[in-house]
Amino acid sequence: MQYFAAHHAHVAFVATSIVLFVLRGGLMLADSPALRRPVLRVLPHVVDTMLLASALWLVSVLHLPFFQTPWLVAKVLGLLAYIGLGSIALRRGRSRQARAAAFVLALFTVSWIVSVAVLHHPAGFLGLVARG
């Protein structure tokens, strides 16, 4: 029962987080001042914190040993890349082109993370090139 709750919460926060990221990316591309509205500055951090909490909850419910679970390691590494790319896309990128490229790469990364989670395989959809 607890697993279903944790899993459900995790997936819901993932979806919300991605929607918010896409929204902010779109606003960034449109050079919209809406990007700086307080709700869009605070809400993502709240959602991402809940997302992280739900992930830890899920891992503890499942008793997943981190170093024995390759796909989990892959997800965490992917997450680090996603955070880096996301911060270039929304904040650090020096030119608009660079921000746009980082945004596209971040979307690619996050869809890969989702595929790793769904397939429970460390290569995710890249399994086509990387055998294991």
Partner 1 sequence: MHSTRKLWAVLGLTMLVSFSILGFMGREIYLTKPPIPSEVRSAAGQVLFTGDQILTGQQVWQSIGGHQVGSIWGHGSYVAPDWTADWLHREAMAMLDARAGRLGAGGYDRLDAAGRAALRAELGVEMKSNTLDPDSLVVTVGQERAAAIRAVLSHYDSLFSAAPETATLREQYAIHDNPVPDPARRQALGAFIFWSAWAAVTNRPGDTVTYTSNWPAEPLVGNSPTSPTYMWTFVSIFLLLAGVGALVWYHAAIAGKEPAPEVPASDPLQNLALTPSMRASIKFFVLAVALFLAQVALGGITAHYAVEGQAFYGIELSQVLPYSLARTWHTQIGVLWIATAWLGTGLFIAPAVSGREPALQRFGVNFLFVALLVIVVGAFAGQWVSVMRQSMSLDTNFWFGHQGWEYVDLGRFWQAFLFVGLILWLVLVGRALWPALRAPGESRTLTGLLFLSVVAIGLFYGAGLMWGKATHLAMVEYWRWWVVHLWVEGFFEVFATAVIAFLFTRLGLVRTATAVSAVLFATVIFLSGGVLGTMHHLYWTGTPTAVLAFGSVFSALEVVPLAVIGFEAYGNYSHVTARPWVARYRWPILFFVAVAFWNLVGAGLFGFLINPPLALYYMQGLNTTPLHGHTALFGVYGMLGIGLMLFSLRLVPARGEWDDRLAARSFWALNGGLGLMALLSLAPVGLLQVKAAVEHGFWFARSPEFLHSDLIETLVWLRVPGDVLFALGAVLLALFFARLFLGRREAPVGAPAKEPSGA
78-117 footprint of partner 1 as x/- string (CB under 8 A): ---x--x--------x-x-xx--xx--x------------
Binding status of residue 126 toward partner 1 by CB under 8 A: yes
Binding status of residue 63 toward partner 1 by CB under 8 A: no
Task: Give me Rg for the CA atoms of the chain.
Answer: 16
Q: How far apart are CA 16 and CA 113, in angstroms?
A: 15
CB of 62 to partner 1, least distance (A): 15
* Cα separation values, 17 from 39, 66, 80, Å: 14, 24, 15
Q: What are residue 39's phi and psi, to 5 degrees?
A: -60, -35
- Interface residues toward partner 1, by CB under 8 A: 65, 67-70, 73-74, 77, 81, 84, 93, 95, 97-98, 101-102, 105, 122-123, 126, 129-132
